Amino acid sequence: MSEVAIPPQRNAISRLWNDKETRSVIIQIVATVLILGFFAYIIRNAVDNLAAIGKGFSYKFLWQPSSYDINQHFIEYSSRSTHFRAMLVGLLNTLLVAVAGIILSSILGFTLGVLRLSKNWLTNKLAYVYIEYVRNVPVLLHILLVHGIIVHSLPVPKNAINFNDTAFLTNRGFFTPAPEIEPLFWAVIGLFVGAIVFMLWFKQFAQKIQDETGKHYPVALIGVGTIVILPLIVYFLLGSPIVWNIPELKGFNFKGGMVIRPEFIALWLALSGYTAAFIGEIVRAGIVAVSYGQTEAASALGISRGRTLSLVVIPQALRIIVPPLTSQYLNITKNSSLAVAIGYMDVVATIGGISLNQTGREMECMVIVLLIYLVLSLLISAAMNWYNNRIKLVER
């Protein structure tokens, strides 16, 4: 019998397919092409349908007047401003809630995680009850509850809670003095920035000395003195170069000063408290994952429990805590979109809400909102991945 000859081309394709790495690359390329093709079909279909009803696809509406007010804005804005500026105002409001929420939830979460491991029965159980209650109630209900408490329990401006005639707490917000900066104050700001740069260098220097000689510098105390006390001394020596604009009650509300809106306070506290419950369990799991022998070894060397936790346990636990912590930071940023439920003007309420309804540009507005949250999520992930690489164990 004569052997059947296999064409060289077919033989080469067979060898490529049988190679594990090559096959993996081929599958990824095909999958990528199919996914991109699917999205291209969807987008093209949407554009054709919009054109069929005479709407088209355009972002020219961004430069038209928005014709609506926003009660909280960090840049100049009025109803005559463009939709693009309204989008920027909403984006800044979203960033404010996200950053403030990440900071507060991290502090509360780490505290709850440590309290869950406390040997004090009452402290341990109180932290446990809080975590279980908060995690099992939808975050939107927390937001509505906190907002309702603030709006209905705090007094009206006429009966405001007075803090030494300089700050006033009402159901319309927390009115505080607004700073009006004089030129000399920039010297204090420059000193403050320089102090931060110095402490970043000094922390690395102190760590290097401790690794080489075992000598420990009081980095925390030096940091407080350099970053806080020194700028304050210079501030008073320069004659306090800030003029404070004090809010005053005029008519039915306060005028002047700076106001922190109840919508922001409610959203900030609710998101922070909700996310802190999840962070608390992440921290507890990370600490428990560190071998107890590390704690016993530190105790045998005479190191106090507090310093053992901060110098031995937490640095090792961070390698376990950081990856799931990233997910919680992403969640708090995306959950801020629920702000529309209580009237906080974030990016969803502005460009994804009022601007969308006024212009009828559903596709364009939603694309903007989706891209904004995508970019924010990627930036948070990149920052946390960078930090995770900094603290991970380096193999020798």
Which residues of the chain fall short of a pLDDT of 70? 1-13, 16-17, 393-396
According to the model, what pLDDT value does residue 1 have? Answer: 46
User: What residue segments make up the domains of the chain, in order of their start?
Assistant: 8-48, 83-177+246-391
According to the model, what pLDDT value does residue 143 have? Answer: 93
Helix 139-153 × helix 262-289 angle, to 10°: 140
- pTM to 2 decimal places: 0.80
Which amino acid, residue 80?
Answer: R
Residue 239: C-alpha distances to residues 182, 226, 323 (Å): 11, 20, 47
Helix 83-115 × helix 362-391 angle, to 10°: 40
According to the model, what pLDDT value does residue 12 have? Answer: 65
Q: What share of the chain is helix, strand, coil (3-state, %, to 5)?
A: 70, 10, 20
Reading the block at residue 170, the tokens are: 């009402």
According to the model, what pLDDT value does residue 253 have? Answer: 83
pLDDT tens digits, 216-271? 788 888 888 888 888 888 888 888 888 888 888 887 888 888 888 899 999 999 99
Radius of gyration of the chain (CA): 28
Instruction: Tell whether domain 83-177+246-391 is in CATH 1.10.3720.10.
Output: yes
Nearest to 259 by CA among 71, 96, 104: 71
In the three-class reduction of DSSP (H, G, I as helix; E, B as strand; rest coil), residue 82 is classed as: strand
CA 384 to chain centre: 11
Reading the block at residue 377, the tokens are: 């999520």
Residues with Cβ < 8 Å from 82, sequence gap 6 or more? 62, 63, 64, 65, 66
The Cα angle at residue 115 between residues 109 and 119, in degrees rounded to 5: 165
